[in-house]
Amino acid sequence: MKEILDAILASDTTAADFAALPIPESYRAVTIHKDEADMFAGVPSRDKDPRKSLHLEDVPVPELGPGEALVAVMASSVNYNSVWTSIFEPVSTFGFLERYGKLSPLTARHDLPYHVIGSDLAGVVLRTGPGVNKWKPGDEVVAHCLSVELESADGHNDTMLDPEQRIWGFETNFGGLAEIALVKSNQLMPKPDHLTWEEAAAPGLVNSTAYRQLVSRNGAGMKQGDNVLIWGASGGLGSYATQFALAGGANPICVVSSPQKAGICRSMGAEAIIDRNAEDYRFWKDEHTQDPREWKRFGKRIRELTDGEDVDIVFEHPGRETFGASVYVTRKGGTIVTCASTSGYNHEYDNRYLWMSLKRIVGSHFANYREAWEANRLIAKGKIHPTLSKTYRLDETGQAAYDVHRNLHQGKVGVLALAPQEGMGVRDRELRDKHLPAINRFRNV
Ligand SMILES: NC(=O)c1ccc[n+]([C@@H]2O[C@H](COP(=O)([O-])OP(=O)(O)OC[C@H]3O[C@@H](n4cnc5c(N)ncnc54)[C@H](OP(=O)(O)O)[C@@H]3O)[C@@H](O)[C@H]2O)c1
């Protein structure tokens, strides 16, 4: 592995040099173990501790197949799906690997007693499989996390609709929280030149998801002037949704849970901010009963911030706890676009407010290659910035996932894989210097 790292750190390594590097037999990876899938049985979700289930260990390098690439991972990041995997909720990810493994002899490689997790990476291509022409050893890349087979016609308008669509590093093995990752070559995108490895690895999953959910025609199709209610506006998804709203001429109404988080949203340029803790919204009277008076109080607060207007789009992901309020506060003809259910997936809302006011609920999930590419392009051009707040070492991934599970983090949490320290990998200093305050916005909070 040292030889690989030396080649990446040297400035004069050619593609041929990279291609000639020997691939090690094993690599260090963050894993969960199949025989521990019941380790948290009976423990409340909140108390399930990723530090107990996530391991750092040596695993064999997988065989490289057609259309695939082996990538030396310099940095990765923790997403909420790393939390779901590590607490085995809502289901153990080994079920995904078993099902995928049944598809073909090649996919059978993924069905193992351990799962290498992680759905983001920034690094360098080491080897490409047969049929890969666009990428070569030595290319500096990031990877988006859409894995598709595309053998069916269904996925050929929008690859997210492929029946064999999976999230790499969550529903497939050999993910990015490791020194080496296996990806399909159509997951690769150019690494933004002005960013460090850890900054480049941070946006991937959430930035692409927020792009489809909010901007793309497949999601809410946001337009100039739209009022956009963004839950968790300084979190992983929300910190990108807020930037897309601002950059696209919309008006974000940012919901957060502390003055500190409100401050970050303000520093991004948002003006309408609601601190849900300070204003103490209680949308549920008890586990089974919602309180429409609280929806109304929330709606009134939004109108105070928008000169009396209602929201065109709600950027939803908390799910059960907020969904009733989200449907209520959306304007007539508006859109509630949802990609998750962090607080529970059995949503309840008053359907009269939906049908009588001709609102739409749109489901959105990750992004197709084109959407991920467009989202990455905006990062590369310095129009949208990474929201990295803190970076951990690979052996601290359990702690990083714990922080995200407990909502102790801001924006995105990075993880160094092969990169020996933060701050490396910048190729365009001029563009970086131009945007440095924005790139570091989440760092010192
Ligand atoms: N379908 C997809 O493709 C996709 C992609 C990415 C993420 N996701 C899912 O989306 C969810 C959020 O991901 P993320 O990366 O943004 O996580 P995150 O970094 O933890 O941010 C989510 C934010 O939502 C707010 N929040 C959490 N629970 C809430 C509640 N009960 N009521 C109101 N606000 C709440 C919190 O902000 P405040 O405390 O400041 O309010 C939190 O910081 C996760 O469930 C994740 O698995 C889905």
Residues enclosing ligand 1, CB less than 6 A? 79-81, 205-206, 209, 231-232, 234-238, 255-257, 261, 276, 317-318, 321-322, 339-340, 342-343, 365-366, 404, 407
Specify whether the CB–CB gap between 44 and 382 falls below 8 A.
no
Specify whether the CB–CB gap between 232 and 147 falls below 8 A.
no
Which atom of ligand 1 lies at the shortest distance from residue 167's CA? 3
* Coil/strand/helix, residue 163: coil
In our burial notation (b when 16+ CB lie closer than 10 A, e otherwise), range 328-352 reads: bbbbeebbbbbbbbbeeeebebeee
pTM for the model: 0.97
Distances (CA, A) of 373 to 69, 77, 208: 18, 18, 8
Probe target for ligand 1 pocket from 46, 80, 253, 265, with the most ligand atoms within 8 Å of CB: 80
How far is it, in rounded angstroms, from Cα 160 to Cα 319? 21
pLDDT of 298 reads: 98
Ligand 1 atom 28: residue of nearest CA? 318
- Identity of the amino acid at 252: P
Rg (CA), the chain: 21
pLDDT of 11 reads: 85
pLDDT of 444 reads: 72
Which atom of ligand 1 lies at the shortest distance from residue 366's CA? 3
Which atom of ligand 1 lies at the shortest distance from residue 83's CA? 47
Instruction: Identify the helix (H) or strand (E) that includes residue 262.
Output: helix 259-268
Ligand 1 atom 30: residue of nearest CA? 318
Ligand 1 atom 32: residue of nearest CA? 318
Ligand 1 atom 29: residue of nearest CA? 318
Specify whether the CB–CB gap between 329 and 298 falls below 8 A.
yes
- pLDDT beneath 70: ranges in the chain: none
CA of residue 107 relative to chain centroid, distance: 24
Per DSSP (E only), the strands in 303-366 are 311-316, 330-338, 360-363
Q: Which two tokens stand for residue 72?
A: 């030396």
pLDDT of 445 reads: 74
pLDDT of 119 reads: 98
Q: Which two tokens stand for residue 309?
A: 């207007």
How far is it, in rounded angstroms, from Cα 188 to Cα 190? 7
Probe target for ligand 1 pocket from 317, 321, 329, with the most ligand atoms within 8 Å of CB: 317
DSSP 26: E
Query: Considering the chain, what percentage of its residues have pLDDT values greater than 90?
Result: 98
How far is it, in rounded angstroms, from Cα 256 to Cα 273? 7
